[in-house]
């Protein structure tokens, strides 16, 4: 009897360990495919867009104070309210965007929040986080001495030359700061995926779509729903180590592109 009951336990134990390893491989593969898009989105979309908007808001134009407030307002909107606003626009059945497309193509019912959940989430996060980034970039632009720009113009420098050789180098510390904050915030996304999926008043949680099933979402579900506390803690430690390594690489790269005001000979 002892032998018969021991064999199934061994088989179950081996099956569980195999399942855990397979789940880890699936998670690693998924986030490996996601990482290039996420890094490209931060480097090629968020940062250039915030440089561009800050430059526009730094111009001496009429009503610039109004536009600065307008761009900053989404940053103070709570996450739940922001998702409600965007659900009104992107809902599959009653969304305003599908309604607008329906004028040209009747019967349109595009699932923006389900079939294109990753793209929709990127727009929502960019909309809500743009204001704070613009304020920081704007403060950096206003700290650039006007004497340098005036001297460059006297020497015949064009607007492109000023942006390339004066504005961009002097703004590189601000870009570096925003890059670190943006990367950490991007990998910590948890609230918006669940709000996009739906959280009921009774506390019930719907699983977010696969497109926004991020690392922190998986960790939260493992701890909260599956009650796999040890596995969830291990995922958090791996997340911490990964962020630490990524941040270290960014800090290491700053010597190649961040201007610190040091003379090249002193740096060597």
Measured distance CA(51)–CA(174) in Å, rounded: 10
Where is 84: in which H helix or E strand? helix 79-90
Name 199's bridge partners: 205
Q: What is the pLDDT along the chain (268 residues), one digit of tens a residue?
A: 444 444 333 333 444 444 445 655 555 555 555 555 455 555 445 555 557 666 666 666 676 677 777 777 777 888 888 888 888 888 888 888 888 888 888 888 888 888 888 888 888 888 888 777 878 888 888 888 888 888 988 988 888 888 888 888 898 898 898 888 888 888 888 888 888 876 444 445 577 888 888 888 889 889 988 889 999 999 999 999 988 998 999 899 888 888 877 544 444 5
220 burial via Cβ count (<10 Å: 0-12, 13-18, 19+): middle
Domains of the chain, each with CATH number or no CATH: 45-261 (1.10.3720.10)
């Amino acid at each position: 009897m002892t032998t018969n009951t021991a064999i199934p336990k061994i088989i179950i134990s081996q099956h569980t360990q195999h399942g855990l390893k397979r789940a880890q491989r699936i998670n690693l593969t998924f986030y490996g495919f996601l990482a290039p898009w996420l890094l490209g989105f931060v480097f090629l979309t968020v940062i250039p867009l915030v440089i561009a908007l800050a430059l526009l808001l730094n111009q001496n134009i009429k009503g610039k104070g109004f536009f600065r407030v307008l761009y900053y307002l989404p940053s103070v909107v709570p996450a739940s309210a922001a998702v409600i606003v965007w659900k009104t626009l992107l809902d599959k059945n009653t969304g305003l965007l599908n309604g607008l497309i329906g004028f040209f193509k009747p019967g349109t019912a595009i699932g923006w929040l389900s079939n294109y959940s990753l793209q929709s989430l990127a727009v929502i996060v960019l909309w809500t986080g743009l204001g704070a980034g613009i304020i920081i970039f704007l403060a950096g632009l206003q700290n650039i001495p006007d004497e340098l720009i005036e001297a460059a113009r006297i020497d015949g420098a064009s607007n492109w030359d000023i942006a390339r050789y004066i504005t961009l180098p002097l703004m590189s510390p601000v870009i570096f700061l925003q890059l670190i904050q943006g990367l950490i915030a991007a990998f910590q996304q948890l609230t918006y995926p669940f709000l996009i999926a739906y959280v009921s008043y009774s506390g019930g949680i719907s699983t977010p779509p696969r497109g926004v099933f991020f690392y922190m979402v998986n960790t939260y579900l493992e701890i909260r729903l599956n009650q796999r506390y040890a596995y969830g803690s291990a995922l958090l430690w791996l997340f911490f180590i990964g962020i630490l390594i990524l941040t270290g690489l960014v800090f290491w790269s700053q010597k190649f592109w961040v201007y610190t005001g040091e003379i090249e000979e002193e740096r060597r």
